[in-house]
Chains A and B, each alone.
Chain A
Amino acid sequence: DAKTTQPPSMDCAEGRAANLPCNHSTISGNEYVYWYRQIHSQGPQYIIHGLKNNETNEMASLIITEDRKSSTLILPHATLRDTAVYYCIVRANTNAGKSTFGDGTTLTVKP
């Protein structure tokens, strides 16, 4: 699986959009970008994933650059409950199990 690079921490004001970047410059053509988050003392939770097109669901939007070497997770209206560690992972959907979760980005949403 390709290695990802994320900033260790970010702050965001409540009600504003949170934009979390991820670099994955060595991503392969068959690898998807996945985002998970982990709220304190809980197991990670799936947020969204994509291959090359931008994706949106009820939780977030995922913007992938045209060269697929980076992506941004967007939480459109951050709330205090969105405070968590956010993990960006790239893996092929034919390769289960060995998802490498790095240290992620600790997002702190402030009132």
Chain B
Amino acid sequence: GAGVSQSPSNKVTEKGKDVELRCDPISGHTALYWYRQRLGQGLEFLIYFQGNSAPDKSGLPSDRFSAERTGESVSTLTIQRTQQEDSAVYLCASSAIQRAHYYEQYFGPGTRLTVT
């Protein structure tokens, strides 16, 4: 079946502009995660959604970052007033949950954001 998809695959933007990154999780996966990966580094947790529960935003680096999710489907990560340090690959993942047991995460290909 279809995996996690993300769009756009690449985004170049000027410093100070806002950007929106989209994630389509695997159908039926109720958990959705966003991570940031700077060049040559590991993944940095940003935010997590689970069903209708309040999202865990503890990883968002500043108030310029926000994310929304419509039900158990598409999610959008928005970065306002982009800065050069926001340049990174933004990865989305989803996972299934059954009886409070969280299964492995399936990752999308990522969106490479470059702020000039």
Contact = CB atoms under 8 A, between A and B. Distances in A.
A49 B104 CA distance: 8
B108 interface: yes
Contacts of A95: 102
Interface in B19-36: 31, 33, 35
A102 B37 CA distance: 11
Classify the interface of chain B: helix, strand, loop or mixed. strand
Interface string A95-108: 11111111110000
Contacts of A99: 43, 45, 105
Interface stretch (A13-21, A40-48, A73-81): A40-48
Interface in B30-59: 31, 33, 35, 41-43, 45, 47-48, 50, 56, 58-59
B101 A98 contact: no
B79 interface: no
A70 B20 CA distance: 40
B87 to A, nearest CB: 16
A98 B48 contact: yes
B48 A45 contact: no
B104 A102 contact: no
Contact of B106 (A34, A42, A46, A94): A46
Nearest to B91: A43
Contacts of B41: 103
Nearest to A1: B45
Contacts of B31: 96-97
20 contacts: A34-B104, A36-B105, A42-B110, A43-B93, A43-B107, A44-B43, A44-B105, A44-B107, A45-B107, A46-B105, A46-B106, A49-B104, A87-B42, A87-B43, A93-B101, A94-B101, A96-B31, A96-B95, A97-B31, A104-B42
The 6 closest A-B pairs by CB, nearest first: A97-B48, A43-B107, A101-B43, A46-B104, A96-B102, A101-B42
Interface of B: 4, 31, 33, 35, 41-43, 45, 47-48, 50, 56, 58-59, 91, 93, 95, 97, 100-110
